[in-house]
């Protein structure tokens, strides 16, 4: 594959344009390319270079994705071998369903309507909880980053509550909140809140003093400085917080759904275990993984226009 | 680093609004008066005197350089005129008004990294007019005019990260001027640039200034730069910063690079050099004593 790329790279060197030493040596140019001026020839050569560079980059990229896909396939092959041969070396594969069984069961779930209902419930909870966490988290974060008072009042709560895992909140959430739905949303919200707050504070506190002074010299009010200087400056850190928060939101949601609730992908996974539907456990797990990855990707993509100014162009 | 092209200069001259406004700037505004100013930092125990008994009058349309060894308080004095620090004692006024906070009448150009990285070059320059209440369209049109003035019209949509250091400083100058300030404060604006670029920028700055003729206060520790640019050089001593000399530079304008090797230039340069050398030696001795 590398050999081929090198051969392709080498092609333009033998292009007639590159052999013509300068624009005045018309005879040389004519000998190689009768209708072209040197300038046109240069353009052609440049375009060819650009095309080859682009093709090379694409090949490099597809090669990497190929490796990633192969890595996943390897795991499935291992899973297949381990389950068909009932491997039992400390880790016991005897009760683990085979990949083909899971695939079959998955087709069955896709054909029914129940499975979609579970996904819809989970997505709804994520949307509400995550939305609340983003709005409150960014607001609190900006407040804390801008005011020592706000930071001193809020930070102790954040530090104390942050290490408490979502599962530990479940009993209290059930006792305090009126519905199961609201307790699951609350737990999810709490999980997503902390990364948003902390990353926002971090971003706001990193604001460059020179930029604030420059803005003040240009007649900006405190409010304008907030919108034009502080928040955009904190944005890279905020976006990181938003992406991390999405991941945390999913596993907090799952904790909530496993223990209470009547729908949701977490509930689906746990009831499959109690109902001895082992393939469904794996379907649930993979669905969670997939939804979590896709939603995090969505957050990054949605935020990338806000980071276009970075040297990386906001690409993710 | 292309200088202002003839085309872009024409564009500036044709812009009647700029012309009208820039002539208004010359109408006697931009008078700075510093009387008996002390600037101190820190609390009782660890108090440092950055500027001591500064007296200085700068008239409308003057180009004044504050020259001194590093750490002599020249930037502090500039920041006081900008309104970022307030004098501990004494009075500082611009056009008769006591300076208490920054304002758009005093534009500032910083040493480096002062453009808003998330705004395009044009939006950076349009920011001042926008804050002054101009509509988006007006602000953009002013920004384009000023970008032509510094020869960067072609880079209007680029982000600062894609510009060289010299280009960024030109955008910084355009941004500061877009508010039509009566005073332009410059804090070692070319200090981070390589020697060749710096000379280009100095010529460029003088060319632009010829259009505006507003008051310029320019902080530098580079003697050549001070002599080349200014009408007056205010020399400051090492800490505490005192004004120890006020040298008139009556070299003819317009000035070009050739001036740097002329005998008149050398005379002034030697004069500054001796003053600065004395101050630097003093500073060394103080540091040795302290150490």
- Mean residue pLDDT of chain B comes to 88
User: Among A210, A219, A229, whose Cβ lies nearest the Cβ of B113?
Assistant: A210
Would you call B104 and A229 a contact, using CB atoms and an 8 Å cutoff?
A: no
Distance CA A207, CA A232 (A): 9
Token look-up 């092959």 returns A77
**Per-residue DSSP letter, B158:** S
* Distance of residue B6 Cα from the nearest chain A Cα, in angstroms: 27
User: Any idea where the domains of chain B sit in the sequence?
Assistant: 6-290
- Which pLDDT value is given to residue B215? 95
Where does the pLDDT of residue B286 fall: very low under 50, low under 70, confident under 90, or very high at 90 and above?
confident
Would you call B159 and A309 a contact, using CB atoms and an 8 Å cutoff?
A: yes
Where does the pLDDT of residue A20 fall: very low under 50, low under 70, confident under 90, or very high at 90 and above?
very low
Distance (Å) of CA A110 to CA A49, A267, A276:
48, 17, 19
Would you call A219 and B82 a contact, using CB atoms and an 8 Å cutoff?
A: no
pLDDT tens, residue by residue, A117-137: 999 999 999 999 999 999 999
Element containing residue B48 per DSSP (H, E):
strand B48-58
Please list the residues that pair with B184 across neighbouring strands: B107, B216
Q: Which of B228, B237, B235, B249 is nearest to B279 (CA)?
A: B237
Interface confidence, given as ipTM, is 0.87
Distance CA A288, CA A282 (A): 10
Tell me which of A34-43, B8-17, B155-164, B282-291 is least confident: B8-17
* Distance of residue B110 Cα from the nearest chain A Cα, in angstroms: 8
> B268-273: long-range contacts at Cβ-Cβ below 8 A with a sequence spacing of 24 or more?
B268/B227, B268/B233, B269/B223, B269/B224, B269/B227, B271/B247, B272/B67, B272/B223, B272/B226, B272/B227, B272/B233, B272/B235, B272/B247, B273/B223
- Crossing angle for the helix pair A99-111 and A38-84, to the nearest 10 degrees: 100
Token look-up 């100014």 returns A309
Q: Under a CB-based contact definition with an 8 Å cutoff, are residues B178 and B156 in contact?
A: no
Where does the pLDDT of residue A30 fall: very low under 50, low under 70, confident under 90, or very high at 90 and above?
very low
User: Among B102, B161, B162, whose Cβ lies nearest the Cβ of A217?
Assistant: B102
Percent of chain B with pLDDT over 70: 90
- Which pLDDT value is given to residue A38? 65
- Which pLDDT value is given to residue B23? 46
Q: Is the pLDDT of residue A274 over 50?
A: yes
Residues A240-251 have a mean pLDDT of 95
Which one of A208, A219, A312 would you mutate to disrupt binding with B, by most B Cβ within 10 Å of its Cβ? Answer: A219
- Mean residue pLDDT of chain A comes to 86
* Secondary structure class of B52 (helix, strand, coil): strand
Count other C-beta atoms under 10 Å from residue B147's C-beta: 26
Which one of A212, A215, A218, A224 would you mutate to disrupt binding with B, by most B Cβ within 10 Å of its Cβ? Answer: A218
Q: Which of B204, B214, B27 is nearest to B107 (CA)?
A: B214
- Which pLDDT value is given to residue B240? 83
Residues of A in contact with B169 (CB under 8 A): none
Q: Which of B188, B183, B217 is nearest to B201 (CA)?
A: B188
pLDDT tens, residue by residue, B83-117: 999 999 999 999 999 999 999 999 999 998 999 99
Q: Under a CB-based contact definition with an 8 Å cutoff, are residues A108 and A286 in contact?
A: no
**Per-residue DSSP letter, B238:** S
Q: Is the pLDDT of residue B1 over 80?
A: no
pLDDT tens, residue by residue, B257-270: 889 999 999 999 99
- Which pLDDT value is given to residue A108? 93
Computed from CA positions of residues B88, B94, B96, B97, in that sequence, does the dihedral angle turn out positive or negative? negative
What would the two tokens of residue B142 be? Answer: 């002013």
Please list the residues that pair with B185 across neighbouring strands: B108, B217
Residue ranges of domains in chain A, CATH in brackets: 2-84 (no CATH), 99-307 (1.10.3720.10)
Q: Which CATH number fits domain B6-290: 3.90.1150.10, 1.10.3720.10, 2.40.160.10, 3.40.50.300?
A: 3.40.50.300
Please list the residues that pair with B187 across neighbouring strands: B219
The verdict on whether omega for the bond into residue B240 sits within 30 degrees of 0, i.e. cis, is yes
Tell me which of A37-41, A131-135, A282-286, B27-31 is least confident: A37-41
Q: Strand B215-220 vs strand B183-187: parallel, antiparallel, or unpaired? A: parallel
What would the two tokens of residue B231 be? Answer: 């009408």
Residues of A in contact with B113 (CB under 8 A): 208, 210
Tell me which of A45-49, A90-94, A111-115, B106-110 is least confident: A45-49
Element containing residue B232 per DSSP (H, E):
strand B232-236
- Which pLDDT value is given to residue A315? 56
Residues A138-147 have a mean pLDDT of 95
Distance CA A220, CA B132 (A): 8
Residues A145-155 have a mean pLDDT of 94
Count other C-beta atoms under 10 Å from residue B112's C-beta: 16
* Distance of residue B120 Cα from the nearest chain A Cα, in angstroms: 8
């Amino acid at each position: 594959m590398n050999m081929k790329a090198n051969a392709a790279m080498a092609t333009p060197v033998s292009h007639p344009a590159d052999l013509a030493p300068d624009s005045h040596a018309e005879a040389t140019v004519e000998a190689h390319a009768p209708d072209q001026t040197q300038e046109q020839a240069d353009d052609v050569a440049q375009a060819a270079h650009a095309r080859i560079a682009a093709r090379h980059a694409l090949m490099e990229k597809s090669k990497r994705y190929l490796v990633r896909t192969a890595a996943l396939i390897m795991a499935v092959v291992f899973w297949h071998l381990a389950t068909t041969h009932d491997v039992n070396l400390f880790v016991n594969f005897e009760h683990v369903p085979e990949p083909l069984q899971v695939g079959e069961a998955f087709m069955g779930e896709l054909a029914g309507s129940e499975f979609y209902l579970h996904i819809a419930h989970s997505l709804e909870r994520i949307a509400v909880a995550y939305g609340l966490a983003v709005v409150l988290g960014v607001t609190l974060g900006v407040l804390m980053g801008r005011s020592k008072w706000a930071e001193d009042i809020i930070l102790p709560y954040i530090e104390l509550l942050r290490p408490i895992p979502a599962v530990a909140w479940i009993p209290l959430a059930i006792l305090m909140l009126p519905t199961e739905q609201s307790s699951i949303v609350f737990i999810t919200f709490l999980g997503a809140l902390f990364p948003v707050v902390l990353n926002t504070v971090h971003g706001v506190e990193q604001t460059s003093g020179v930029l604030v002074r420059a803005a003040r010299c240009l007649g900006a009010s405190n409010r304008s400085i907030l919108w034009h200087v502080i928040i955009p400056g904190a944005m890279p850190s905020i976006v990181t917080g938003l992406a991390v928060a999405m991941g945390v939101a999913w596993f907090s949601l799952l904790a909530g759904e496993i223990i209470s609730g009547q729908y949701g992908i977490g509930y689906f996974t746990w009831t499959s275990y109690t109902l001895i539907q082992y393939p469904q456990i794996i379907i649930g797990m993979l669905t969670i993984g997939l939804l979590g990855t896709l939603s995090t990707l969505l957050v990054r993509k949605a935020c990338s226009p806000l980071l276009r100014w970075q040297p990386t162009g906001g690409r993710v | 680093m292309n200088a202002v092209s003839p085309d872009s200069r024409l564009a500036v001259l044709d812009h009647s609004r700029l012309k009208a406004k820039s002539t208004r700037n010359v109408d006697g505004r931009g008078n700075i008066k510093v009387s008996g100013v002390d600037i101190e930092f820190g609390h009782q125990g660890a108090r440092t005197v950055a500027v001591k008994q500064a007296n200085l009058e700068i008239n409308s349309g003057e180009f004044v350089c504050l020259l001194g060894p590093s750490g002599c308080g020249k930037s502090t004095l500039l920041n006081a005129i900008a309104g970022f620090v307030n004098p501990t004692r004494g009075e500082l006024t611009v056009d008769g008004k006591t300076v208490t906070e920054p304002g758009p009448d005093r534009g500032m150009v910083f040493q480096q990294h002062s453009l808003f990285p998330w705004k395009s070059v044009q939006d950076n320059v349009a920011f001042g007019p926008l804050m002054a209440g101009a509509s988006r369209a007006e602000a953009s049109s002013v920004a384009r005019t000023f970008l032509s003035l510094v020869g960067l019209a072609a880079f209007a949509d680029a982000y600062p990260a894609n510009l060289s250091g010299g280009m960024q400083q030109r955008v910084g100058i355009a941004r500061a001027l877009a508010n039509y300030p009566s005073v332009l404060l410059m804090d070692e604006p070319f200090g981070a640039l390589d020697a060749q670029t710096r000379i280009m920028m100095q010529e460029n700055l003088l060319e632009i200034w010829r259009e505006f003729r507003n008051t310029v206060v320019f902080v530098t520790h580079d003697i050549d730069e001070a002599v080349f640019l200014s009408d007056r050089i205010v020399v400051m001593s090492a800490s505490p910063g005192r004004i120890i000399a006020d040298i008139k530079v009556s070299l003819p304008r317009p000035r070009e690079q050739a001036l740097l090797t002329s005998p008149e230039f050398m005379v002034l340069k030697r004069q500054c050099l001796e003053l600065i050398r004395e101050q630097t030696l003093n500073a060394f001795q103080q540091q040795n004593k302290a150490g």
